[in-house]
Amino acid sequence: MNTNDSIPDILPHTNVPVLLVFYRRPDTTKRVFEAIRAARPTKLFLATSAPNPNRPADAELCKATRDVVAHVDWPCEVYRDYREECIDADHGVPTAVSWMFEHVDHGIVLEDDCVPNASFFNFCEELLEKYKDDTRIMNISGSNFQGGNVRGDASYYFSHYAMTWGWATWKRAWSLYDPDLKAFPDFISKNTIATIVSRKKEQTYWLTFFNKLYTKKFAFWDSTWIFALMNSGGLSISPNHNLIQNIGFGSTATHTKQDTGLSLPLENLGHIIHPSRIEVDQVADIYFFNKFHSSSFVTKVKYKLNQFFSK
């Protein structure tokens, strides 16, 4: 850890700690870092993996990316976790989040291809404080995938699905994340899924998908996080305006090789209006499932495995 205090603290800043997880994409990392710099968090966590020894070009790219974030020119406590071993994204991100929570009890998580707008930081700061003691709320997302549909009459709605292209959470919630899904057999025996989603199609999809994670057929940390929410009866918050733009689609991405209409433009949230009740917007969740998870499981798994092995 080091502290940069060479510049007087005279500009607005966010009090929420920010974690930036990056690797070998200096161009996208620069854009995300510029957005973080504009928000001027008082605590900044920087986490990265060592270059892949099987890809010689990675060494230079990793160095160039580290150079992008080398100079933090606002008053800020800077923490760095630069790994000496190569860790893939599906282990690197949760490892970095756990590391951040060794030092703080809440924070924002950004990867090197997820550009937030200014209102994202305000959104997270206000909701992290509002729901800090409400154990039902486990995740605050910055993304909106509702196709222009506004859910409810507030600035955000509640969901079973934790979207993680720019998100925030608390240490108390992240403590429920388990990469091994040890609770899955109990999840099955209690038929917990039936208390989360009512449609058989969705139940079958998620039980099959979680079983693949449990048996290590593949590893997707974000889906494991969704399991943690479902198993704990937790909820995620999603804004009614999109606050994150994914700019990482392409051959250098881990999972987003192709842009299937998900790189959405940034929107401003404005004054935050809170919902009058805490309850899942079932219409929003069904829309999200139908749009992104309704293809056959075999097709979905083949697509995800192709992405996985293309790393």
Residue 33: CATH number of its domain: 3.40.50
On the question of pLDDT at 255 being above 60, the answer is: no
Please state, in angstroms and rounded to a whole number, the distance separating the CA atoms of residues 165 and 149.
19
The per-residue pLDDT for 214 is 98
Task: Report yes or no on 158 lying in a domain.
Answer: no
What is the mean predicted confidence (pLDDT) over 274-292? 95
The per-residue pLDDT for 1 is 53
Q: Which domain holds residue 7?
A: 1-112
Domain count, the chain: 1
Task: Report yes or no on 168 lying in a domain.
Answer: no
Task: Report yes or no on 202 lying in a domain.
Answer: no
C-beta separation of 83 from 50 below 8 A:
yes
In the three-class reduction of DSSP (H, G, I as helix; E, B as strand; rest coil), residue 42 is classed as coil
- Position with higher pLDDT, 2 vs 131: 131
Task: Report yes or no on 11 lying in a domain.
Answer: yes
On the question of pLDDT at 303 being above 70, the answer is: no
Spell out a b/e string for 205-229, using b for 16 or more CB atoms within 10 Å of the CB, else e: bbbebbebbbeeebbbbbbbbbbbb
DSSP 3-state helix, strand, coil percentages of the chain (rounded to 5)? 35, 15, 45
The per-residue pLDDT for 282 is 96
The per-residue pLDDT for 265 is 78
Task: Report yes or no on 104 lying in a domain.
Answer: yes
C-beta separation of 306 from 258 below 8 A:
no
The per-residue pLDDT for 157 is 98
Please state, in angstroms and rounded to a whole number, the distance separating the CA atoms of residues 275 and 192.
26
C-beta separation of 103 from 54 below 8 A:
no
CA atoms within 13 A on the CB side of 233: 8
The per-residue pLDDT for 11 is 54
Band (262; pLDDT cuts 50, 70, 90): low
**Which tens digits make up the pLDDT trace of 54-87?**
998 999 999 999 999 999 999 999 999 999 999 9
Task: Report yes or no on 107 lying in a domain.
Answer: yes
CA 98 to chain centre: 13
On the question of pLDDT at 9 being above 80, the answer is: no
Please state, in angstroms and rounded to a whole number, the distance separating the CA atoms of residues 100 and 113.
19
On the question of pLDDT at 185 being above 90, the answer is: yes
If you write DSSP's letter for every residue of 134-150 in order, what string do you get? -TTEEEEE----STTPP
pTM of the model: 0.88
Mean pLDDT taken over the chain: 89
Task: Report yes or no on 40 lying in a domain.
Answer: yes
What is the mean predicted confidence (pLDDT) over 37-51? 96
**Which tens digits make up the pLDDT trace of 129-148?**
999 999 999 999 999 999 99
Task: Report yes or no on 294 lying in a domain.
Answer: no
The per-residue pLDDT for 6 is 39
